[in-house]
Structure 1
Amino acid sequence: MSEQQRQRELPAQRAHRARPGVVIVGAGMAGVQTAVALREKGYEGPVTLIGAERHPPYDRPPLSKAVLLGTADSPAYDIDFAALGVELRLGVEVTGLRPAAREVDTGAGPVPYGLLVIATGAEPVALPGTAAVPGVHLLRTLDDAEALRPVLDRGAGTVVVGAGWIGAEFTTAARAAGCAVTVVEAADRPLPGALPAEVAAPMADWYAESGAELLTGARVAAVEPGTVVLADGRRLSAEAVVVGIGARPTTDWLAGSGIALGPDGAIVADERLATSLPDVYAVGDCASFPSARYGERLLVHHWDNALQGPRTVAAQAVGESEQIYDPVPYFWSEQFGRFVQYAGHHAAADTLLWRGGPAEAAWSVVWLRDGVLVALLAVGRPRDLAQGRKLIEAGARLDPALAADPSVPLRKAVL
């Protein structure tokens, strides 16, 4: 900020600059929970929460479910920010970070910070060449969900690009609304980036059961008004197109700041969620962290990560530097009449065991590494998930024969 700009500031603005406190960039789950956790930890300084959206902060999971179908009230958090002493600045775009000046740049002017928490989340990956095509939708924000509600209200024929978690949840809602749905997936199965083939391939049947058509091994060549053109020449009629092909950390605004980013675009945080810049932390979908539990760096794009990480950041803000962040990742999905839950990280597992089979109404899969439980997927078996998550946290070693018996509680399979 120039000296002329400083002189033009109002007294209240100068007072605020003198006590910058904690500034949180991003008003989603991670940002909101950071503000709440700071107060719970006893932090008494100023807290400013900056959000790019004009809406009061809200929860995202309902967007692909009840909000789409119009069966839920507002997903806004029931939090009295004024009572917490948290200043909300909504509809404000953050455009840059200048660590030497200890300021973030916004469309409304610079904001000084004593401690900065970056919680900008992730943004959906767009399908190339579709920005100007009418009827193409993403599903990440409340505005996105509201734009899609008329599609479901009129039962429009829809093509969903991507059979990941968002694609499955949107398809579930669209079928419930009576829409004809065709799902196009470039891989040979649903959830190709999340689960191994032997686990994910049977889930293809869920689409057919719902009345949706799933096309695997199908790549989109172009999207025209009212039509999706596949690479093999097939043309799919589409009143609406919903794209769910992944998300990437929202970190472009950090270019030139000197903050360390990984090859995935995520902020590289340490075990306490501190970044490479002094007094700057990162939490939620925009940051990766090292996991001693799994021996690798994790980037977790799920709600529970945005809930848990802020507690570690708040602990650092009040001087509790011994607290580190190494959670058991957890997420859930409601799709096709099933409640799907996952805990852990199975990438380095050497053993996969079924508890029941995919043709059954309820089943689970557990992953072991050197006999130790490292991950679990539960479909309609919440007790397996609850017990399994605790066992993963404890580093429990399981008897494979007992662990594969669905009639045996997982806790009874511990060696």
Structure 2
Amino acid sequence: MSEQTARESAADGRRVVVVGAGMAGVQTAVALREQGFAGTITLIGAEPHKPYDRPPLSKGLLLGKAEDSAFDVDFASLGIDLRLGVEALGVRPADHELDTVAGPVPYDALVLATGAEPVRLPGTDDAPDVHLLRTLDDAERLRPVLAGQHEIVVVGAGWIGAEFATAAREAGCAVTVVEAADRPLAEALPEEAAAPMAGWYESAGVELRTGARVERVEPGAVVLSDGSRLPAGAVVVGIGARPATAWLAGSDIALGTYGEVLADDRLRTSAEDVYAVGDCVSFPSARYGERLLVHHWDNALQGPRTVAADILEAGTAPYDPVPYFWSEQFGRFVQYAGHHAAADRTVWRGAPEDAAWTLCWLRENRLIALLAVGRPRDLAQGRRLIESGRTLDAGVLADPARPLKEAVAG
């Protein structure tokens, strides 16, 4: 009997339950089948909709350019028991049971893939004209707002805020973006990287107010802490997200500072036979020497393969990806790879006032992260250089006319 067949035979009769029917959850279920798992797979989602991809929500779907973002997965043919509209309430690891609104669900292995939920603006829970953009229902509520070309105030100049402002301007809305920090993306990028992006708002006809805090939201207006009143037919809040793990309270599964599930380098949690993947989990990165909490689509795509392999006891390598993220905003294609926190120098490829440029972060002359604006080839080559850890010649790296891969020293 081959090693693979032995694993498949041992897996027969085992029950894997996946909580969360977003990218991470769906890909975990699919990866289990692709890697030969022959047992029962139950995929549980809180939303009633067929599992769907989230990036189109702030792009084509919001503007009516795409009608469907559902995953192209035939769950029935894969033998995946898909249970929608079922909210998870808690986990009892000692009993190997998941508690849901529909009753307890027993498991042999449990995968937590509940993602993240948006941070709400205090005092606006019941405000009818205040919107979030995280789910399909959120996008459906916002489509007529854009179609009506309302005056819109966006709270938060992060990734989601910029993408929504882009869509709203394309729809013909008057848009004001309010940001408490002194620049866009203040929590995601250092000043030298984020500062050039402030000009993008103005060029797109969007008013950007930095250093501005929202005092309250009134019917038809947003009032700032300095007393300014901004007319607002609708308010869209994009001030960050937190792991959707409140339902795990009392489950004896270790959580971190931000409420994220703490996992090891195989994405195993502190509870036996319980894994976590995607936006709800942090993991130790040997590459960067710290624990990473990555709220990006690519992380939800890659992590499931590690989880599936570990469930199958296939001798998995540690999960230590190069984080990757992309965004389309104000006519620009923005890509980021790596983790820049430990950099000791930066190198520009092109100037920030150019239409296309790349900012590279180095540590001991090795590339650890880069931000590419309109230079997808830099991103592709740079990501491979980060993975390889090879020493670079900073002089060659700084020449935007030369392929980034030519900067390899020696």
Which TM-score band applies after superposition, normalised by the shorter structure? over 0.9
Partner of 1:216: 210
Partner of 2:296: 302
Give the distance between the partners of 2:397 and 2:225, measured in 1 at CA.
44
Give the distance between the partners of 2:158 and 2:212, measured in 1 at CA.
14
Match of 2:175 among 177, 181, 192: 181
Are the counterparts in 1 of residues 306 and 316 from structure 2 also a CA contact under 8 Å? no
CA apart distance, 1:20: 5.9
Give the distance between the partners of 2:147 and 2:391, measured in 1 at CA.
50
Partner of 1:66: 60
Local SS of the residue matching 1:100: helix
Partner of 2:8: none
Partner of 2:106: 112
Ranges of 4+ aligned residues in structure 1 off by more than 6 Å: none
Give the distance between the partners of 2:206 and 2:307, measured in 1 at CA.
43
Local SS of the residue matching 1:332: strand
Runs of 5+ unmatched residues, structure 1: 1-17
Are the counterparts in 2 of residues 342 and 376 from structure 1 also a CA contact under 8 Å? yes
Question: Is 2:117 the counterpart of 1:129?
Answer: no
Are the counterparts in 1 of residues 155 and 179 from structure 2 also a CA contact under 8 Å? yes
Match of 1:380 among 365, 374, 379: 374
What does residue range 65-104 of structure 1 map to in structure 2 within 5 Å?
Answer: 65-104=59-98
What does residue range 101-250 of structure 1 map to in structure 2 within 5 Å?
Answer: 101-250=95-244
Partner of 1:400: 394
Are the counterparts in 2 of residues 315 and 323 from structure 1 also a CA contact under 8 Å? no
Partner of 1:334: 328
Local SS of the residue matching 2:299: helix
Partner of 1:311: 305
Give the distance between the partners of 1:20 and 1:319, measured in 2 at CA.
13
The alignment covers a number of residue pairs equal to 398
Give the distance between the partners of 2:315 and 2:214, measured in 1 at CA.
49
CA apart distance, 1:322: 3.3
Question: Is 2:348 the counterpart of 1:360?
Answer: no
Match of 2:340 among 333, 339, 346: 346
CA-atom RMSD in angstroms: 0.9
**1:339 partner letter:** F
CA apart distance, 1:396: 1.6
Are the counterparts in 2 of residues 269 and 275 from structure 1 also a CA contact under 8 Å? yes
Local SS of the residue matching 1:84: coil
Partner of 1:10: none
Give the distance between the partners of 2:318 and 2:42, measured in 1 at CA.
24
Give the distance between the partners of 1:157 and 1:276, measured in 2 at CA.
48
Cα deviation 1:12-49 (Å, max 9, x = unaligned)? xxxxxx95600000000000000000000000000000
The alpha-carbon distance between structure 1 residues 253 and 20, as it changes in their structure 2 partners (threshold 3 A), is farther
Question: Is 2:250 the counterpart of 1:256?
Answer: yes
Partner of 1:370: 364
CA apart distance, 1:68: 0.6
Higher mean C-alpha displacement, 297-306 vs 314-323: 314-323
TM-score (norm 2): 0.96
Give the distance between the partners of 2:345 and 2:276, measured in 1 at CA.
34
Give the distance between the partners of 1:132 and 1:276, measured in 2 at CA.
37
Runs of 5+ unmatched residues, structure 2: 1-11
TM-score (norm 1): 0.95
**2:185 partner letter:** L
